[in-house]
Amino acid sequence: MTAVFTAADGVKLAYDDRGSGVPLLCLAGLTRNMADFEPVVDGFAHRARVIRMDYRGRGASDWPGPATYTIAQEAADVIALLDHLGLDRAVILGTSRGGLIAMTLAAMARDRLAGVILNDIGPEIMPEGLAHIMDYLGRPTRFRSLAEAAAAFPALHAPAFRDVPEATWTAHANRLFREDGGRLHLRYDARLRDAVAPAFAPDAPVVDLWPVFDLFEGLPLGLIRGAGSNILSAETAEKMRRRRPDMVFAELDNRGHVPFLDEPEAVRVIEEVLAQV
């Protein structure tokens, strides 16, 4: 059941908390919401405390505007949620932007991390992936219904995604869009585009995140990569593995950015990291 807490600036943030055991805090991608982690709830709520949240400007949280749609603010909101729940530490399962937030937390509050699992993200981001995000970010969808969107996804996401069950595409459409009044609506604030456009520009300065990644030293660490990813290259993943030979790793065939986290190898990475905590 979705609950709400209030951040220091008065913004109301939605979260879901169920299960018991090691706290596993799930952080979604840039435009995504807590529904992305439904497979994790189904697979782990009987053996972990699965916590999901919607960032400001996404899902059921308040949409206060792009000025606060920053990774630093979102990391502060994560700490506020941990404080609200009375949790000293949690394992972070970070998809894409959620993984960047995990790196930010390593720099600002490493003692709150019990472990980290990165879902198709690393210290270097492929520029073609950022360009692809800007193609659709904040723009109305061309699909007229959830059924139309789900039917179009197999061709739209090929060749990176193959052998995806029809039910998975249907669930994916429901997580991305809300159908109302005979049209589809985004489940995030379209003004998110204004917040990230400067950082996504081709001439934007590149931030060296490798020193931040190295702050995960000593923490249980996992990495899941879609073999067809346009965000996390195979070369960057291999460099991450060289720096952390103990990192639990899986590369998923027939998946791109981002894996759904119901794949057996993705489940294995989550299981192995949790077992180390």
Cα dihedral 250/122/90/59 (nearest 10): -100
pLDDT at 62: 98
Residue 254 CA from chain centroid, whole number: 19
pLDDT at 1: 75
DSSP 59: T
Give the predicted TM-score (pTM) of the model. Answer: 0.97
DSSP 58: B
Residues of the chain with CATH 3.40.50.1820: 2-138+206-276
E-only strand ranges, 1-151: 2-6, 12-19, 22-27, 48-53, 90-95, 113-119
- HSE, side-chain direction, 13 A CA sphere, residue 199: 13
Name which of 144, 89, 93, 145 is nearest 117 in CA terms: 93
pLDDT at 181: 82
CATH number of 2-138+206-276: 3.40.50.1820
> What are the mean pLDDT values of the chain's consecutive 10-residue runs (277 residues total)?
94 97 98 98 97 98 97 98 98 98 98 98 96 95 94 97 97 96 93 95 90 98 98 98 98 98 98 98
Q: What are the two backbone dihedrals, phi and then psi, of residue 114, each rounded to the nearest 5 degrees? A: -100, -15
pLDDT at 206: 87
Question: Are the CB atoms for 13 and 81 separated by under 8 Å?
Answer: yes
